[in-house]
Amino acid sequence: MYNIKPELLEARAADLPGMTGVRVPELFPDSPRPLAADSKEAVRKQIRDLTTRQIEEIDLSKIQAGDSVNILASHHGFSIYGGEAYAEMIRTIRDEVERRCRTTDIRLFAGVGLRFRETDEYIERFGLKEYFGGKAAGISPVDEGVPIQTEIGTLYGIKRAYNAKWIIHAHNNDIRELHYHRLIGRIFKPFAMSYATIETRSAYHQSMGPRAANFLPRAIYESRFVQEKFVCSFILQIAPTGIIGVNANNDLAKQDLALARLSLNWYGKLITLLGSIKECILVIDYPGPIPYTTAGGILFGNFLNANVDEFNLDIPFTAFTRYTDMLYTGKAVLSNKTPPPNPAIKALIINYCSKGYPSTFFAQQIPTMVIGAQADLLGTCEQNTTFMNYAIRINKLQKALQFAMQFSKTSHVLAFDGAVGGFNASQPLADALYELAPSISREVDETLMPLWCKQRGIVSLPVDPVGSMGQL
Amino acid sequence: MKTIHRVALVDEGICNGCGLCSRICPVLAINVAKIGEKKLAVVEADSCHACTICVTRCPQRAVTMAERRVPLETGIDVAYVSKDIEDICHAAHMYPDQIICYCHRVQAKEVVKAILDGAKTPEAIASKTGARTGCGVLCITGVIRLLAASGIELEKAPGYQWYGVKATIWDISKEIMQKYPQYYMAEDLEAINDIFP
């Protein structure tokens, strides 16, 4: 219900003349090796094996026969590389809890972002309602709340998420909203998002500050209410190259630090490389909301901020967060205290995206063209009611690209089209990326990684890409 | 200003009158009424802002959107920023021109004008300005902060619309900031105070 029909797409970015593929392992040979699978069934088998192995190391003794258990999940996991891996991790958790704890009262509640039917659609797509014997449902931030007393006062979770005796957190460590979480407590975030009502989520984006906001999920997690229910956490491990493995832990804080170290290793070089691009035209061509469209596993939202080092915690404001969005009314309320959106982006062409998620900020800041029927979708989007006031409609993708090249004077084109393990880019940009990669790699290893790790209290160690699968 | 082209429509054959839609509507445009022998959700068309929250949460999938015959105009035009508006925004650590609702680009001054014109709840503000009638999530604390800065104490929402959360960086104690230094709370307080009034 959130996209135009694919048959309305007259062309795709990757098929445009002059586009080529750039593989992450060829840019950075020390990239982690992803799971390889020839079929959906093979993915499922590997994830089931990894999850089963991890759960054997976990203490489930709190859960007694007949106890109720809620597995808490989030929408985004179902959109990673087709979603089958995340769905299988959840199925396996369910089966192993039933087998080891002798309880059948196991439910799945999966939260959403800002599109409240999204998770219901995933549950249907992956047959999870049937798998959980009817006990699977999407939950949303407008659902009934439950008060949670925290160190900073009362916050509200979604009542149904916490209506069991025990909860199990089932999430992922995809870098995703680096511009929001800044890799501070990244895997805690659903406690103030997917499992929380609107005010807790709104406080995160409007009332706490760009780094401090990440304390909200931690405060909820540390509350007595949650601690009395929390059993363990399962994380689907994601890198720019693909799905790496599954990790489980009874201690979310320890797990978070260990995974943050891996994410710095896995994503640090790639995001720094993207930040070194001096000029380019972006083509969005993926059925996700604009800020959540991806290239090589990196969000458009992150690329918009790539002109500053988002990992560096000494920098308070990156170009795009909801704090800076508040300060742009078409023109900046303040012009000198926050960095501008990545000036390398000379034009934005939207060929295919979902509706939902407020994105007018982007069109206000970057020359934006929307192709064909996609313009009709954005023109009627409830969350972007003025978006098309700032964008122009063009009927053909190639015409839009020619126009963008003409006014921007660049031949660098990058597609945010959900490509896995690499990018679709124009040949000149691909050549530039290959040329820059070795020096970026050295800069990250020698200068940036030690800084990023120190800021987070993490011991900086090189990661063995082969041995990292599920092992922390 | 916002032009609303659509309106929620309840399929009476599917609706079971559970009332969830009325408890989550940000402008209180839906009520449950007994019609004949059946309880049904009833949409007040002149109040509906077409946010689609009811469409996406109805457990029966009984609500859809229909085109309005005549579009509905809503919103507040603030011709000039009075000292009252400026003072209330300042007390809430906001600029009059800053965005509160990202979806409809509603500004703080419009929310305050609505309050000065008599809106005393988030629902009344949503009806007058359109704030909260997009995603329905992100701007609620901005609205609550402006109501508090106007001296209005919220009591209880009619449904699940809000609970009155007041977690802000200005409320965090020094002890908490020192206990969790990795969250940069003291530094963010300084950065926020530098950028917001």
Whether pLDDT at A465 is above 50: no
Q: How confident is the model at residue A332 (pLDDT cuts 50, 70, 90)?
A: low
Q: How far is B100 from chain A (nearest CA, A)?
A: 6
Whether pLDDT at A241 is above 50: yes
Whether pLDDT at A471 is above 50: no
- Using the beta-carbon criterion (under 8 Å), do A207 and B168 form an inter-chain contact? yes
CATH of domain B2-74: 3.30.70.20
Whether pLDDT at A468 is above 60: no
How far is Cα A15 from Cα A251, in angstroms, rounded to an integer?
46
Strands A106-111 and A69-74: parallel
Apex B45 CA angle, B42 and B46, nearest 5: 135
Q: How far is B124 from chain A (nearest CA, A)?
A: 17
Q: What average pLDDT does this structure show over B6-10?
A: 97
Any idea how long chain B is? 197
Annotate A114-139 with b (16+ C-beta within 10 A) or e (fewer): bbbbbbbbbbeebebeebbeebbbbb
User: What is the ipTM for the molecules in this complex?
Assistant: 0.97
- Using the beta-carbon criterion (under 8 Å), do B140 and A202 form an inter-chain contact? yes
Best CA proximity match to A116, nearest among B107, B67, B24: B24
Intervals of CATH 3.40.50.11440 along chain A = 40-240
Domain ranges of chain B: 2-74, 83-166
First to last CA, chain B: 26
pLDDT above 90 covers a percentage of chain A that reads 90
Q: How far is A385 from chain B (nearest CA, A)?
A: 6
Looking at domain A40-240, its CATH architecture is 3-Layer(aba) Sandwich (3.40)
Q: How confident is the model at residue A331 (pLDDT cuts 50, 70, 90)?
A: low
Residue of A184, A200, A326 lying closest to B99 (CB–CB) = A326
pLDDT above 70 covers a percentage of chain A that reads 96
How far is Cα A236 from Cα A89, in angstroms, rounded to an integer?
8
Q: What average pLDDT does this structure show over A379-400?
A: 95
Of the given ranges (A223-232, A430-439, B158-167), which has the lowest mean pLDDT?
Answer: B158-167
Residue of A141, A185, A326 lying closest to B137 (CB–CB) = A141
Contacting residues of B for A338, CB less than 8 Å apart: 195
- Residue A461, pLDDT score: 60
Whether pLDDT at A333 is above 80: no
Contacting residues of B for A207, CB less than 8 Å apart: 141-142, 145, 167-169
- Residue A429, pLDDT score: 98
A70 φ, ψ (degrees, to nearest 5)? -100, 120
Q: How far is B129 from chain A (nearest CA, A)?
A: 14
- Using the beta-carbon criterion (under 8 Å), do A197 and B163 form an inter-chain contact? yes
